Amino acid sequence: MEIKLSNLTEINGLTKPTGTSALGMKLALSSGKMKPSEVLEECIANIDLYEEHLGAWAYINIDGAREVARELDNKKPSGALFGIPFAIKDNIDTFDMLTEYGTDIYLGYQPGRDAACVAGMRSSNGVALGKTICTEFAHRHPGKTANPWNIEHTPGGSSSGSAAAVASGMVPIAIGTQTTGSVIRPAAYCGVIGYKPTYGDFNISGVLANTPSFDTLGFFTNCVDDLVLIRKALLDESIPEIKKLSLKGARVAIAAKPYWEEACASSQQMIEEAAKVLKDAGADVFALEDQGVFENLSEWNIEVSGYEFARTLAHERRLAFNKLSKILRDGRMADGFRVAFSSYQAAKKNLELLRIKFDGVLNEIDFIICPSAQSAAPKGLDSTGSADFNMAWTSLHCPVISLPVALEKNTGLPLGLQVVGARNSDDRLIKFAEAVFKCLTS
């Protein structure tokens, strides 16, 4: 077995400083070892080194961030994200930074208020550093961002800049959004932790809609435990932290469906190896019995996302149709106009019932594992890769965490392991993911 974890150590020939986690920063800040301004300057130093190669940012607000950090320098640490710099995908509104939604149609656009998630992170004393590149309207037409592991490869999308910024140490936390695989895929391609929460857990007001029935926030970090800080910041400071969860006796299902046969040899090998290691750690590992859940899922997903996306962009369709990319017009938007309202309604209803059925399936399972994507990041920046491996879990509203646990043999690029939990079990899933990550990479 040649697959092993490796940290990203250089970007375009430059040595990358060891990425610090938000939790590491928090400890340094709360113990007084570092001040918010010093933490911020480490991030800015990495931006200076790597941004010209990676193109992760749509807008960087260094002056604004420095001002906030300086104010925090004189305060007693408080708030879940005290002094932690973070980046925001550019389909999320910010009252003090341009928000361009990944399209020339909105060049120079300045919203009037912060999205709920941005205001929440700021209320927890996080430091907003800027806006990260998003594909066009969070669909498939790519922005300028390159993959930090090899700049000739895609970083994935649609949260391209958020994934690249965290992978290159420019920020410890970046907010993204996922409608199909827009967090998990770029996290896997860029070798960082990616987290797609249970649908509805996080307030998405102020986020440009794509497909409201599936849209969620998502987060990129270098450390699983950072996700706990984010949940405290945005949901409830008092969420009781679950103690470590043991893999001994954990019920782990391997999902071969719906797309196993499309996974590359390295991805399949990663799962087989992971299964072996988890078994050795005492987990009860078995194949997922899906009870037919995946049978029509893809069709229903396309009907719902097509129908909703085409209508979400009604304004641009009306006034800027020719400025939309061909892939957007001929892709999800065209899907939407092929779907009758009655089919859309039926697909939504079917998915609702399927989610409840899948809750039942997951009653007997602690978590599912499968590859985060078919393969490592494909070569070329003209496509962001496929979301096929993420579609099912997103449609089912399940929480998912992508863990960078292996490198692909031929390219040396990272592979992601997708850990999937039952709806509303995010806090447990995070602890299981932490245990899996340690087990597979130690």
Please count the residues of this chain forming the interface with a second copy, following the rule CB under 8 A: 50
- DSSP states of 210-226 as a string? S-TTT-EEEEEESSTTH
Binding mask 394-423 for a second copy (x = CB under 8 A): ------------------------------
CB 392 within 8 A of CB 165: no
- Tell me if 181 sits within 8 A of 387, measured CB to CB: yes
* 372 in Cβ contact with 389 (< 8 Å): yes
Using the minimum distance from each CB to a second copy, give the nearer residue, 30 or 203: 203
Beta bridge partner(s), residue 368: 253, 420
Catalytic, 343? Answer: no
Stretch that binds a second copy, among 129-137, 202-210, 273-281, 371-379 (CB under 8 A): 202-210
Closer by beta carbon to a second copy, 173 or else 285 = 173
CA–CA separation, 340 and 337 (whole Å) = 7
- We find the least distance from the C-beta atom of residue 226 to a second copy, in angstroms, to be 18
Question: Could you give the CA distance from residue 31 to residue 304 in angstroms, rounded to a whole number?
Answer: 49
C-alpha 16/C-alpha 165 separation (Å) is 12
Q: Which of residues 297-336 bind a second copy (CB under 8 A)?
A: 308, 311-319
Residue with smaller CB distance to a second copy, 145 or 216: 216
Are 183 and 196 in contact by the 8 Å Cβ rule? The answer is yes
Q: Rounded to 5 degrees, what are φ and ψ at 105?
A: -60, -30
Q: Among all chains, which residue has been given the structure tokens 């599912």?
A: 368
Question: Binding of a second copy at residue 158 (CB under 8 A)?
Answer: no
Q: Is 158 a catalytic residue?
A: yes
Shorter beta-carbon distance to a second copy: residue 226 or 316: 316
Is 182 a residue of the active site?
A: yes
Q: Do the beta carbons of residue 284 and residue 252 sit within 8 Å? A: yes
Which one of residues 15, 112, 244, 363 is an interface residue with a second copy (CB under 8 A)? Answer: 112
Contact string (CB under 8 A) for a second copy, positions 210-229, x = contact:
--xx----------------
Give the DSSP H or E segment for 69. helix 62-73
Rule CB under 8 A: which residues touch a second copy? 95, 106, 109, 111-120, 122-123, 200-201, 203-206, 208-209, 212-213, 234-236, 238-239, 308, 311-319, 340-342, 345, 348-349, 352-353, 356, 424
Catalytic residues: 89, 158, 182
